[in-house]
Amino acid sequence: MERLQKVIAHAGIASRRKAEEMIRQGRVKLNGKIVLEMGELVDPDRDEIMVDGKAITQERLVTFLFNKPSGVVTTMDDPQGRPCVSQFFQQVPQRVYPIGRLDFETEGLLLVSNDGDLAYRVMHPRFELDKVYHALVKGIPSEGKLEHLRRGILLEDGMTAPAQAELLHVDKVKSEALLSLTIHEGRNRQVRRMCKAIGHPVLQLTRVKLGFLSLEGVEKGAYRQLTPAEISQLKNLLEARS
């Protein structure tokens, strides 16, 4: 027996959090009856589960590592008609969706999956999955400003957790610097706001690692499927931090 929202997520309908919203909105029926409460236990092999009037079926779970280009929206559709992640996954038969977000201008590593339970764990801040960014910034930060990033920055939505900050390269002619920043939070435009707060706005931003996963071998705009061993390692890593 499994929780209803988890079964919906595993069917590739939505993330577990979104599945909970669907239940609260009365969009889910269990054996012909609308379910409004969380925590309902179901047998996916025996119970009839319907979302928006359609019976769900269990999809094979797949997870892809995508190298998102700049100028792509991290959604499966966009009302403004901008390029979005779904356009790169039209040949994938499963109904996949991005795990978390990267800004429109930000490029780099993004997981795309139909595994709602994995998505929930990767996105939830309590699991503290490290995210490594390379940020090209205006100006050359002093060691004192890097230390400020390491201690935490007071933003409009509160203090950031301590980050790892390293100066990778300096271009004195252009007055630019390349920083490596490691964080585990997922606030909106967090790295950009942190750099701006120390007086060095971001010119270009790339997420290069998520946990042990990296962009190695994946060209911009391309993706690869995670192996069973990588999925197991990722889940074990998240479980160890729960």
- Annotated catalytic residues are 103
- For the stretch 43-100, pLDDT in tens is 887 899 999 999 887 778 899 999 999 999 998 888 899 999 999 999 998 889 999 8
Cα-flanking dihedrals φ and ψ of residue 201, to 5°?
Answer: -60, 150
Q: State the pLDDT confidence band at 123, using cuts at 50, 70 and 90.
A: confident
pLDDT for 242 equals: 65
- Which one is predicted more confidently, 237 or 203? 203
pTM of the model: 0.79
Q: State the pLDDT confidence band at 241, using cuts at 50, 70 and 90.
A: confident
Q: How many other CB atoms are there within 10 angstroms of residue 219's CB atom?
A: 9
Domains annotated on the chain, with CATH: 2-55 (3.10.290.10), 67-126+215-240 (3.30.70.580), 130-210 (3.30.70.1560)
Which two structure tokens, joined as six digits, stand for 6?
């988890």
